[in-house]
Structure 1
Amino acid sequence: HTVECAEQALEEMLVANRFGGAGSKVLVEDLLEGEEASFLAFCDGERVALMPSSQDHKAIGDGDMGPNTGGMGAYSPAPVLPRSRWEETAELVILPIIRHMKAAGHPFRGVLYAGIMMTEAGPMVLEYNVRFGDPECQPLLMRLDCDLTEVMLACAQGRLDPAMVRWKDDTALCVVMAAQGYPEKYEKGMRIEGIRNSEELPGVKVFQAGTRREDGLVISSGGRVLGVTALAPNLAAAQKLAYQAIERIQFPKSYFRRDIGAKGLGRGV
């Protein structure tokens, strides 16, 4: 947002070697201002089945403060990209990729992910991935109302019918429980309890990412450790349920954002 911030970032990358070889070259781009949205689609090389919009929360701190992470939480649908704009947005950021790759003789089959900034000038692509996003994947799969295996097989075999992909009308929200210190230095080996107790709440699923089993116990083994996800009739209810589920988990030296979904609620949904 400022020249000073840019200079500090360059210093960390090029002088302090913070990212190793990955930071030996930098690309200076325009600052895109707006709200982020994630837009994914199942693809079979020719046809696509659009997934509902979602919104990731990249920054470590509440209010989008602090360094970026792999994602501290997400919810779906995201009102910044409403259903009425999905087809228009797909024509801008999804279908051109599918058409081009087919014409080039390399049809893409799988999940195409477009990370978008919704600016005043329209959607601008921040990144593409050829996989589910994390933590967008968790709320999306909570809303999926059909057999994921059958959908993926249809993509692989080039016979995807968009009508076979169905979604629940409910809202899903995921809050990531991370180890304190992430995305910088953090401890591993913390004992985690209460996951089963948390999942006893109707509509709650705790996805485990940075964990391992040791003597029958669940132990932290990474920076982003748990994705506590709730499915409810609306965003406010999903947010409340997710944080209620977190209260049932005992995870020492953990950290999580307390404002996941606040932007959507600010839009009156």
Structure 2
Amino acid sequence: MKVLLIGSGGREHALAWKLAQSPRLTKLYAAPGNPGIAEEAELVSLNVEDHAAVISFCRDKGIDFVVVGPEAPLVAGLADDLRAAGFVVFGPSRAAAQLEGSKGFTKDICARYNIPTGAYQRFTAAEPAKAYIREQGAPIVVKADGLAAGKGVTVAMTLDDALAAVDDCFAGAFGAAGAEVVVEAYLDGEEASFFCLSDGKTALALATAQDHKRVGDGDTGPNTGGMGAYSPAPVMTPEMVERTMKEIIEPTIRGMAESGHPFTGVFFAGLMITAKGPELIEYNVRFGDPETQVLMMRLKSDLLSILYAASTGTLNEVSAEWHDETALTVVMASKGYPGAYEKATPIAHLPEAQQGAKVFHAGTAIKDGQLVATGGRVLNLTAMGKTVTEAQAKAYALVDAVKWDNGFCRRDIGWRAIDRAD
């Protein structure tokens, strides 16, 4: 099978690495890819915003299957245009991708189908939003409605922070994403990431993970796109997984089908495990980053086969098997992230790949023959271990072998699971 993978981040490197192991794969292309992905796939300099160019490439190369990694092309309708041209695509339609493209849309689906989530209101102007915030009090959560590359959410512990977040959104800090704002109740508990494939009617639960959103040790500082993750997440007990499927995933699949937008692809449910049980923080309509890196390390099954089944209505014919070990990934980011940071800083050395350990590239490029950091989140140092403590030690050994003067990371990824185990 000839496969085109769309994307260029750490998630796509992990997907490429796993797809490349499939016995069904004959050729893997990646657009635009990165230097790490180049080890697994032939890179193609396609502008993925030019849907006609992507379709033309797929026709020229006889592509059998397209896997869309990031959310922006899905929200822009790339999957629709490829399907209309006759290609099999992993990823939801533009209409179904609203689950990530509009936080208000997701909240409305939750309200309609009685899916547990925080109480909320939607606003298109600052003053009514501020009045609602003053009425509700802090802590409270303010979200830009649209796609903001993981940066449009403020968990405000004070009224002043919440009011400032509203001003930021309507002042254009997140561009068009902030034209509407969702204000919702603060959920108290432990976060978890839950992944589930859907072919529009059947659901296949994947493994659980826990992300670390804040930039600093001890979950301090501003939210980021994710500074590390591990899988499985002990907070997601078999009972929690069952409840999540029954109370959150299955009603969503039913609701999307009933609303005329059947969902095919992967649900990435950001959950808060509260005293009441699992509650939905938000949906993403693609694999998580950096959770994909730990999921792909643990996945025993052929990734290509299960993604293809989700895309062709045959998910009931496949299953997903997992290694029992824990996988843990540490994100190395450019100093200054999630604020301003220097670009094109040289990475002098990366550790060699070894059994049960892998360096995934998230924001790198080759410039004048030198590997350089081009993004905020740059490297994902990922390792497996019999316990989370062992996986953590192996991952940080990889971190310590990297020679990159402008890099930094959290030093406590996996701390909740380690506390639980002690």
| TM-score (ref. length: structure 1) | 0.93
1:144 paired to 2:299:
yes
Indicate if the aligned counterparts of 2:215 and 2:227 stay in contact, CA closer than 8 A. Answer: yes
Indicate if the aligned counterparts of 2:240 and 2:277 stay in contact, CA closer than 8 A. Answer: no
1:4 paired to 2:160:
yes
In structure 2, do the counterparts of structure 1 residues 25 and 99 end up closer, same or farther at CA, with 3 Å as the change threshold?
Answer: closer
Q: Which residue of 2 aligns with 1:207?
A: 360
Q: Give the residue type in structure 1 aligned to 2:392.
A: Q
Q: Which residue of 2 aligns with 1:100?
A: 255
SS in 2 for 1:37: strand
Unaligned runs of 5+ in 2: 1-156
What is the alpha-carbon distance in structure 1 between the residues aligned to residue 310 and residue 178 of structure 2? 36
What is the alpha-carbon distance in structure 2 between the residues aligned to residue 111 and residue 194 of structure 1? 35
Deviation at 1:43, TM superposition (A): 1.4
Note the alpha carbon deviations across 1:105-126, whole angstroms, 9 max, x for none.
4322111111011111221111
What is the alpha-carbon distance in structure 1 between the residues aligned to residue 307 and residue 166 of structure 2? 41
Note the alpha carbon deviations across 1:219-255, whole angstroms, 9 max, x for none.
1111000111111111111011000011111111111
Amino-acid identity (%): 46
What is the alpha-carbon distance in structure 1 between the residues aligned to residue 256 and residue 280 of structure 2? 18
1:85 paired to 2:240:
yes
Q: Which residue of 1 aligns with 2:110?
A: none
Q: Which residue of 2 aligns with 1:36?
A: 191
1:58 paired to 2:245:
no
Q: Which residue of 2 aligns with 1:218?
A: 371
What is the alpha-carbon distance in structure 2 between the residues aligned to residue 172 and residue 115 of structure 1? 19
* 2:417 maps to which of 260, 264, 267: 264
Q: Give the residue type in structure 2 aligned to 1:123.
A: P
Deviation at 1:216, TM superposition (A): 3.1
SS in 1 for 2:421: coil
What is the alpha-carbon distance in structure 1 between the residues aligned to residue 193 and residue 366 of structure 2? 32
In structure 2, do the counterparts of structure 1 residues 76 and 162 end up closer, same or farther at CA, with 3 Å as the change threshold?
Answer: farther
Deviation at 1:257, TM superposition (A): 0.6
What is the alpha-carbon distance in structure 2 between the residues aligned to residue 108 and residue 154 of structure 1? 14
- Aligned residues between the structures: 266
- The structure whose RCO (Cα within 8 Å, separation 6+) is larger is 1
SS in 2 for 1:267: helix
What is the alpha-carbon distance in structure 2 between the residues aligned to residue 163 and residue 157 of structure 1? 12
What is the alpha-carbon distance in structure 2 between the residues aligned to residue 205 and residue 93 of structure 1? 33
Q: Which residue of 1 aligns with 2:136?
A: none
In structure 2, do the counterparts of structure 1 residues 46 and 13 end up closer, same or farther at CA, with 3 Å as the change threshold?
Answer: closer
Query: Cα RMSD (Å) of the superposition?
Result: 1.7
Deviation at 1:44, TM superposition (A): 1.5
Indicate if the aligned counterparts of 2:199 and 2:314 stay in contact, CA closer than 8 A. Answer: yes
In structure 2, do the counterparts of structure 1 residues 92 and 25 end up closer, same or farther at CA, with 3 Å as the change threshold?
Answer: same
Q: Which residue of 2 aligns with 1:173?
A: 328
1:244 paired to 2:244:
no
Deviation at 1:194, TM superposition (A): 2.8
SS in 1 for 2:185: coil
Please say which structure displays the higher CA radius of gyration. 2
SS in 1 for 2:182: coil
In structure 2, do the counterparts of structure 1 residues 162 and 223 end up closer, same or farther at CA, with 3 Å as the change threshold?
Answer: farther
Indicate if the aligned counterparts of 1:75 and 1:172 stay in contact, CA closer than 8 A. Answer: yes
What is the alpha-carbon distance in structure 2 between the residues aligned to residue 162 and residue 216 of structure 1? 46
What is the alpha-carbon distance in structure 1 between the residues aligned to residue 237 and residue 390 of structure 2? 19
SS in 2 for 1:86: helix
| TM-score (ref. length: structure 2) | 0.60
Indicate if the aligned counterparts of 1:198 and 1:249 stay in contact, CA closer than 8 A. Answer: no
What is the alpha-carbon distance in structure 1 between the residues aligned to residue 413 and residue 397 of structure 2? 13
Q: Which residue of 1 aligns with 2:273?
A: 118
Indicate if the aligned counterparts of 1:199 and 1:245 stay in contact, CA closer than 8 A. Answer: no
Deviation at 1:214, TM superposition (A): 2.1
SS in 2 for 1:52: strand
